[in-house]
Amino acid sequence: MAALQRDRPELFAYNEQGTQRDQANLVYLSWFEQTGLEIPDPDAVRPQTVAVELPLNACLLRLELDEDDVPSAVVGVVVDADGKQVEQPTILRSSGYGILNADAIAVVRTRAIENTTGATRPYLFEIQYSQENERCPDLPASSPTPAS
């Protein structure tokens, strides 16, 4: 865990790019255009919420996260009439953390999706991370830095 953070610090550093709703809307429209699908009724593609524990390799993020600010990412995927994902899942709204975005894609990639529409269509998932993970080691509370 610490080795990954040491070797790939960019995965653990907060990056605001793509986290705001207006940015996500532009990514969403661009993604739909790339899929070649007709943009459906917005109610038909509301994100389905998937609650997951903080991944084990991201336990150190607990030191940086506010208790009230639970990170989430929105992932889009295109599914055919048989429920098979026909394109790789795509981050449409970033969590702000590369490690969580990668995990959100993995969560959707391994998810069984039942498509009862009889047609290829997009699905959106909002992956919401709990700061809890019983497998995470106990971490010392972050101490405030003294004012200068």
Residue 145, both tokens: 């830095």
Q: Is 9 helix (H, G, I), strand (E, B) or coil?
A: helix
Q: pLDDT tens digits, residue range 38-67?
A: 776 766 678 999 999 888 877 777 767 776
What pLDDT score was predicted for residue 91?
97
Q: For residue 88, give the nearest of 50, 21, 35 by alpha carbon.
A: 35
Q: Categorize the per-residue pLDDT at 106 as very low, low, confident or very high, splitting at 50, 70 and 90.
A: very high
Separation CA 123–CA 23 (nearest Å): 19
Could you identify the residue written with the tokens 């069984």? 112
Write down the residue that tokens 């030191």 correspond to: 63
Q: How far is CA 73 from CA 20, 67, 99, 135, in A?
A: 11, 17, 11, 22
* Contacts of 62 by beta carbon, 8 Å cutoff, 6+ apart: 54, 131, 136, 139
Six-digit token string for 137: 């080691």
Alpha-carbon span 66 to 63, nearest angstrom = 8
91-95, 100-104, 110-114, 136-140: range with lowest mean pLDDT:
136-140
Distance of CA 93 to the CA centre of its chain: 7
Position 76 scores a pLDDT of 95
H-helix segments, 19-145: 21-35, 98-109
Residue 147 scores a pLDDT above 60: no
Is it the case that residue 143 has pLDDT exceeding 60? Answer: no
Q: Which residue has the higher pLDDT, 26 or 9?
A: 26
Q: What is the mean pLDDT of residues 111-131?
A: 90
Q: Taking 60 as the threshold, does the pLDDT of residue 148 lie above it?
A: no
